[in-house]
């Protein structure tokens, strides 16, 4: 536990930094320098701000802190996937994953310590909820995993390198829509020309489907992509997999999704994990096809990745093939997403932080 009660410098806007500096008889242009160090160069201490006078660095360190997510433990899979446990300023941990492939490097980012939704197939859900990550803690994961993608072994000052990440998915620990403001703020920093300059079209935010937040997102009309973590197309089955569905059944989610499509004109992705003898038969495929008639969508199918604390199992390959063929016969775009990093508990649904991972 850090015990540092000073405000986190990265919680301030450029304007707030400017007011602080001018209030201490510093030139206003210094605010731009500080902001550049924070969000473009990705520094994690005042000592790294070498273009600032030492007296100014002392002033900043005396009034503000850095609540950074520091890489602590790394595991590398046989398929090249790298999982990093990040230690937070208060001693808690979250995990982020770098997923390499032939044509892209993807960062899977966490948004919360634990998760309050308790999906019965998910290791993170077994942790319960501790707290939201700050904008800076989300951003730190992206910068560090970006350096891993570029073949560097540790994060250094200077933003993302030229061979940086191609994609970012908010599919790690936590429910991003329950930390919407910080997630959105982090994406703004990641995509801003004053930040990392990454295209928002390469970022996907995944949610189990919180109706009021889907509507909020629609009104904001973000440039990033949205994915619905569905997993079952009837309330009876979805209640078992995603207990949150009991509070907000599928009709509420469908109505919110229709609002999203009408408001934005955008297609979204449906994520559907296949569980053996739970949601993998042709009747389930038919229900999913009916659900998809409501909107322009594409489907990412995922074969379940084992989590020790659950009783679910990976589906049989023949049933997966039949499931895909049925959906394609209904002219639905389907992609079977290959699971990566299963041998280090880095695949979808396996992230649980250091306490469980060890």
Alpha helices in the chain (DSSP H): 14-23, 29-39, 54-63, 123-127, 135-149, 180-191, 211-220, 235-241, 250-264, 282-292, 317-329, 354-357
Summarize pLDDT for 159-207 with one digit per residue, the tens.
544 456 899 999 999 999 999 999 999 999 999 999 999 999 999 999 9
- Choosing from 26, 95, 271, 303, the catalytic residue is 95
Summarize pLDDT for 130-161 with one digit per residue, the tens.
999 999 999 999 999 998 888 754 443 345 44
DSSP tag of 31: H
Closest CA to 160 of 40, 303, 295: 40
Does the annotation count 252 as an active-site position? Answer: no
Centre a 10 Å sphere on the Cβ of residue 320 and count the other Cβ atoms it contains: 17
Of the chain, the percentage scoring pLDDT greater than 70 comes to 89
The pLDDT score that the predictor gives to residue 358 is: 38
Which whole-number Å values give the CA distances from 257 to 96, 292, 332, in the listed order? 28, 11, 17
Locate 51 and state its tokens: 């273009």
Summarize pLDDT for 323-340 with one digit per residue, the tens.
999 999 999 999 998 766
Query: Given pLDDT bands bounded at 50, 70 and 90, which one contains residue 356?
Result: very low
- Choosing from 43, 108, 122, 348, the catalytic residue is 348
Alpha-carbon distance of 7 to 5, in angstroms, equals 6
Please list the residues that pair with 74 across neighbouring strands: 84
Q: For the domain bounded by 7-65, which CATH number is listed?
A: 1.10.150.530
Strand order of the β-sheet with 93-100 is 70-76, 82-87, 93-100, 105-108, 167-170, 203-207, 225-229, 268-274, 297-303, 333-337
> Which strand (E) or helix (H) includes residue 93?
strand 93-100
- Between 247 and 346, name the one with better pLDDT: 247
| Domain residue limits, the chain | 7-65, 70-357
CATH architecture of 70-357: Alpha-Beta Barrel (3.20)
Summarize pLDDT for 36-84 with one digit per residue, the tens.
999 999 999 999 999 999 999 999 999 999 999 999 988 888 888 899 9
* Residues 307-336, mean pLDDT to the nearest whole number: 92
Does the annotation count 115 as an active-site position? Answer: no
């Amino acid at each position: 536990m850090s015990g540092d009660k000073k405000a986190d410098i990265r919680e301030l806007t450029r304007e707030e930094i400017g007011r602080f500096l001018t209030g201490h008889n510093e030139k206003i242009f210094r605010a731009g320098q500080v902001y550049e160090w924070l969000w473009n160069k990705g520094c994690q201490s005042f000592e790294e701000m070498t273009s600032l006078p030492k007296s100014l660095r002392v002033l900043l360190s005396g009034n503000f802190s850095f609540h950074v997510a520091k890489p602590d433990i790394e595991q590398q899979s046989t398929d090249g996937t790298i999982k990093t446990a990040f230690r937070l300023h208060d001693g808690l941990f979250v995990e982020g994953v770098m997923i390499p492939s032939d044509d892209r490097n993807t960062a899977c980012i966490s948004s919360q310590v634990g998760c309050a939704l308790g999906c019965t197939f998910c290791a993170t859900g077994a942790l319960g909820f501790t707290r939201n990550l700050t904008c800076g803690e989300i951003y730190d994961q992206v910068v560090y995993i970006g350096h891993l993608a570029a073949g560097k072994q540790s994060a250094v000052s200077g933003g993302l390198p030229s061979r940086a990440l191609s994609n970012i998915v908010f599919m790690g620990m936590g429910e991003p829509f329950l930390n919407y403001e910080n997630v959105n703020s982090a994406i703004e920093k990641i995509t801003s020309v004053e930040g990392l300059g990454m295209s928002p079209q390469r970022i996907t935010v995944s949610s189990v489907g919180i109706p009021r937040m889907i509507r909020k997102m629609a009104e904001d009309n973000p440039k990033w992509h949205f994915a619905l973590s569905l997993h079952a197309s009837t309330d009876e089955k979805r209640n078992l997999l995603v207990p949150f569905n009991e509070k907000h059944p599928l009709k509420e989610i469908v109505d919110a999704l229709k609002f999203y499509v009408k408001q934005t004109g955008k297609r979204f992705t449906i994520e559907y994990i296949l569980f053996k003898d739970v949601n993998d038969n042709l009747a389930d495929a038919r229900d999913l096809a009916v659900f998809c008639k409501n909107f322009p969508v594409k489907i990412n199918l995922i074969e379940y990745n084992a989590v020790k604390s659950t009783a679910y199992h990976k589906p049989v390959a023949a049933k997966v093939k039949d499931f895909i063929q049925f959906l394609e016969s209904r002219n639905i775009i389907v992609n079977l997403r290959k699971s990566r990093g299963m041998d280090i508990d880095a695949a979808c649904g396996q992230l649980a932080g250091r306490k469980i991972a060890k």
